[in-house]
Amino acid sequence: MKKQSFTLHFKYILGICFVLALVVLIYMYANQIASTRLFLYLKNTLTSTFFFYFFLYFIIPLFVITIIVLILVITHYTKKGIRVEAETVEIERKVDEFLVKLIFGKKLSDELITIEIKNFKKTIPFDEKYVKKIALTKIFTIKEGFNLNENDILVSLFNQFDFLEYSKQLLAKKQWYNKALGVHYIEKINYKSELHLIEPLLTHKNETLRGLSFNATLSLKEDIFPLLMGYKETITYASKIKIADILRQKKTTFSLEQVNMLLRNENDSIKSIAMLYVLDKNISISEDIIIELLNSKTRYIRKDIITLIRNLKLSHLEDQLFKSYHLEEIIRNKISIFKTLAEMGSEKSIFFALKTIEDPNIDSDIEFEAVRTIFKINPMFFEQFIISKFSEKETVKKIIAHINSPYLS
């Protein structure tokens, strides 16, 4: 990769030099007056005959030779790049054919697998980093595509191709992206014995590397509860979804006490992950904890618990949602409360929505969701109360028309 990057930069530099030299030559050729003036200037400036002829017979020829060399070098590297690209395509084809034959073909003994792999490595420049990367990518694609988590042949492939050693080399590099690649490979290969190489990266200054290392550690570690409880870094939304998936795949089980501890963790990111776990396992949590989360200072925690209430259809918390609505300052969270009431609310939610609509300063999005909530709970409500002040309100009429026919403007 480094060699390719150097080659690319070198080609750019050579190209720029060539263009500049070409522009100067074209200008001098096209503008004879300028050429003559330059020649006379140099002759008058370089009063010494030696320096004049040195410039004329050494500097100028050297300049021309340099341009020719640049052209030749650029041509060489361009042809080499085309050749390398063709070789890469051929290597990918060979790796594909070999892996498909070895994994899905006739079952072989460990000795024969070792021989097959050893012979195959001789047919490609396996010591090149880009070739290792191609082979790893292909193996992981097959592993995930066919769910071959415990396949003996894959284990042999990892070991015989020296991928563990390659991953260690990547982790030892300074650049965070190389370390991230090493972390990714160790996680995918499921080398639990090498977890100690990843754990120091949990506090790395690079946020992306920290997140990848945390996910990999969760994936490889047996007892992850202490890790979750002690983690202090902020976790992105995408990583939270990934972590929830890891917990699901590992069939992780927490006790109710542990779940409560996670929901009360100082790190809001861990609280979010705990709520995803509660949803996935359909766990009943205490009303006290739910109220604590509804009163959280963090807006997305309040949003997450409102969503959890909706997904678990905790209708007994209807009155609590009314209280939370009045305390809530974020419009998106207020809207989320109405979305939740629309899914599990009773007649009380209808009258709560009607009272909300009475507010002359109500936000239009909240008003829409309030009307939709009424309509979702009782689609006939506005027909039954057609003479009411609510159904006569122009904005309400438009919202009802839109709900009935969403494609109307």
Neighbours of 382 (CB within 10 A): 19
CB-hemisphere CA count at 13 Å for 219?
22
The b-or-e profile of 82-93 (16+ CB within 10 A means b, else e) is eeeeeeeeebbe
Q: What is the pLDDT of residue 165?
A: 85
**124, part of any domain:** no
- CB contact at 8 A, 114 and 99: no
pLDDT at 298: 96
What are the b/e assignments for 187-218, b being 16+ CB within 10 Å? bbbbbeebbebbeebbebeeeebbbbbbbbbb
Both tokens assigned to 52? 């004049």
Q: What confidence score (pLDDT) does residue 117 get?
A: 83
Residue 405 lies in a domain: yes
Q: Is residue 324 in a domain?
A: yes
How many domains is the chain partitioned into structurally?
1
Is 118 inside a domain boundary?
no
Answer yes or no: is 198 within a domain. no
Q: Note whether 96 and 138 are within 8 A (CB).
A: yes
pTM of this structure: 0.71
* Cβ contacts of 338 within 8 Å, gap of 6 or more: 353, 366, 369, 370, 372, 373
208 contacts 233 by C-beta, under 8 angstroms: no
pLDDT at 2: 43
By the 8 A CB rule, do 45 and 55 touch? no
Which of 166, 169, 112 is closest to 139 using CA atoms?
166
How confident is the model at residue 255, as a pLDDT?
96
Question: In the prediction, which pLDDT does 128 show?
Answer: 82
The predicted structure's pLDDT at residue 24: 62
Q: Which domain holds residue 407?
A: 286-409
Residue 320 is predicted with a pLDDT of 97
SS3 content of the chain, % helix, strand, coil (to 5): 80, 0, 20
Residue-level pLDDT at 233? 92
What's the pLDDT score for residue 251?
93
Query: In the chain, which stretches have pLDDT less than 50?
Result: 1-6, 387
Question: Does any domain span residue 61?
Answer: no
What's the burial of 373, exposed, middle or buried (CB within 10 Å: 0-12/13-18/19+)?
A: buried
Dist. CA 102–CA 278, nearest whole Å: 42
CA atoms of 175 and 190, how far apart (whole Å): 23
Residue 178 lies in a domain: no
Determine contact, residues 130/4, Cβ cutoff 8 Å: yes
Query: Is 249 a member of any domain?
Result: no
